[in-house]
Amino acid sequence: MSDHNPESLIIVEAKRILFEAEAAVLENSAVLVDGETILAVDTPDKLMNMSNRSIPRIHLGDLTLLPGMIDCHVHLGYEEAQDRRSLMEGSTQQALLTALMLYNARKLLRTGVTTIRELGSSGQLGSTVRAVISKGWSPGPRVLAANEPLTTTGGHAWFLGGECDSVEEIRKAVRNRHKSGADLVKIMVTGGGLTSGSVPWLAQFSQQEVDTAVEEASRLGMPVAAHVHGTEGIAIAVNSGVTTLEHCTWMGEGGRIGNHLDTDVVQEIVDRGIFVCPTASSRWGTMDSERRDSKIRTVAIMHEAGVRLIAGTDAGIEHVPHDSYAQGLSWLQRCGMSTLDVLAAATSNAAESCGIANITGTLAVGKVADMIAVTGDPREDLEVLSKPVWVMARGKQVLDHNLVIFRPQL
Ligand SMILES: [Zn+2]
């Protein structure tokens, strides 16, 4: 311990610690944090002896400590209450949008989400907001930013600024994302419901175009998240070897969810280890029951086939406020996933899908201290995740009321 600055050490102890979704809960354990990194895990007494000095301790009492949660699909720059028209017009007001994005980032953090994938915002605001948060100027989760999604001229979410229409333009667009500091590439392989004139069940890009995006992204070390609804677009994205499939509703003509589910393509998703983010969210609670049941059935089929599902809410779209993450988890459970499956989808599997399993998603020595504490046991009742009592992101405590960040007193 001698080479560690005592000022940066802190011990966090709790009645129960769930180090990772699939591990057993340990009773009366503790985590020693140095700056933003987990330095050791053991009993509180052993950690005190190891450090051989009086360092601050946070007693979480009768709470369960677990890894911070990950929302794999967020739009910080959308305002849930906004109508479609003002969303498109609002995309030109960059300063206002930046403020909105930081406001929404705070909301996510307060609900225990310590990492997000920002899957589409205007221009380069995603990576700008990531920089503001990582400099410590404003509280928020770790941001993996896609910046403006690749789409066709007038295609889904064109108003974010990512129009490109040929193999050459796609290659250039991917290089531009890399140049602007995006962490990953988002591509709208099919149309989407948010954009008037866009048809969700039809593919927007050809196989060759999506192949180019994936090849170029992989050359630059960037994962690819593919927005897909219709089966043709899903098959194209899977063939190209994208990293994650967003929504993946197997939509048939007229927008019927699950109508064109292709079991061969589902098997291909499993074989290639492609993650699916079905964007289960609070919005499901507002749908008519037929549509909702189709969603549940479709996700259940993928889950039973062995598809690795990850949690992401599409926060920012209608009926999905940025503080409703846990509602998405309960919808995943209603798709036949066990509470452990859902916890993995929200933590370890989500981290793996984002390429950051070496940093976060579990509580282990050497990883970043992203952790939350909840009352009760989330393995028995996921509902407890909707109200985290305590949140630590990158080694900093976040209090739930005013988001005051402080270093504990000795
Ligand atoms: Zn989205």
369 within domain boundaries: yes
| pLDDT band for position 90 (cuts 50, 70, 90) | low
Dmax (CA) for the chain in angstroms is: 67
Question: Domain check: are 333 and 368 in the same one?
Answer: no
CA 250 to chain centre: 22
The alpha carbon of 284 and the centre of ligand 1 are apart by a number of angstroms equal to 15
Do 43 and 101 sit in the same domain of this protein?
Answer: no
- Choose one of 316, 336, 353: the last residue of a domain: 353
DSSP H or E segment with residue 71: strand 69-74
User: Is 137 contained in some domain?
Assistant: yes
Q: 21 CA to middle of ligand 1, Å?
A: 26
Summarised one tens digit per residue, pLDDT across range 5-36 is 767 899 999 999 999 998 888 888 999 999 99
Residue 322 Cα, ligand 1 centroid: separation in angstroms?
13
Q: Tell me, in angstroms, the distance from the centre of ligand 1 to residue 92's CA.
A: 19
Q: Tell whether 408 is covered by a domain.
A: no
Q: Which residues pair with 118 in a beta bridge?
A: 74, 145
What is the C-alpha to C-alpha distance for residues 192 and 199, in angstroms, rounded to an integer? 6
Could you tell me if 241 and 384 lie in one domain? no
Residue 403 has pLDDT above 80, yes or no: no
Distance 375 CA to ligand 1 centre (A): 31
61 and 78 share one domain:
no
Residues 232 and 330 in one domain: yes
Helix ranges restricted to H, 64-137: 84-90, 94-110, 125-134
Question: What pLDDT score does 402 carry?
Answer: 40
**Does residue 378 have a pLDDT over 80?**
yes
Same domain, 113 and 132: yes
Q: What share of the chain is helix, strand, coil (3-state, %, to 5)?
A: 35, 25, 40
Would you say residue 1 lies in a domain? no
- Residues near ion ligand 1 (CB < 5 Å) are 314
298 domain residue, yes or no:
yes
Each residue of 189-240: pLDDT tens digit?
999 988 888 999 999 999 999 999 999 999 999 999 999 999 999 999 999 9
Q: If you measure from the C-alpha of residue 118 to the centroid of ligand 1, how many angstroms do you get, rounded to a whole number?
A: 9
Q: How far is the CA of 321 from the centre of ligand 1 (A)?
A: 13
| Count: domains in the chain | 2
In the block, residue with structure tokens 């140095």: 34
Q: Note down the domain range covering 365.
A: 6-67+361-398
The answer to whether residues 262 and 156 belong to one domain is yes
Q: What do you get for the CA distance between the two ends of the chain, in Å?
A: 18
Same domain, 366 and 338: no
Residue 52 belongs to a domain with what CATH number?
2.30.40.10
Whether 150 and 283 share a structural domain:
yes
- What's the 336 CA to ligand 1 centre distance in angstroms? 23
Is residue 403 in some structural domain? Answer: no
- Could you tell me the distance, in angstroms and rounded to a whole number, from the CA of residue 227 to the centre of ligand 1? 7
Same structural domain, 94 and 47: no
Tell me, yes or no, whether 49 and 82 share the same domain. no
CA of 395 to the centre of ligand 1 (A): 29
Residues 192, 90: Cα–Cα separation, whole Å: 19
0.85 exceeded by the pTM? Answer: yes
- 148 Cα: distance to centroid of ligand 1 (angstroms): 12
> pLDDT band at residue 404, thresholds of 50, 70 and 90?
very low
Does residue 205 lie in a domain region? yes
For strands 308-309 and 275-277, give the pairing: parallel
Ligand 1 centroid from CA 76, angstroms: 10
Same domain, 144 and 55: no
Is pLDDT above 50 for 400? no
Structural domain includes residue 407: no
How many angstroms is it from 365 CA to the middle of ligand 1?
34
The CATH number for 292's domain is 3.20.20.140
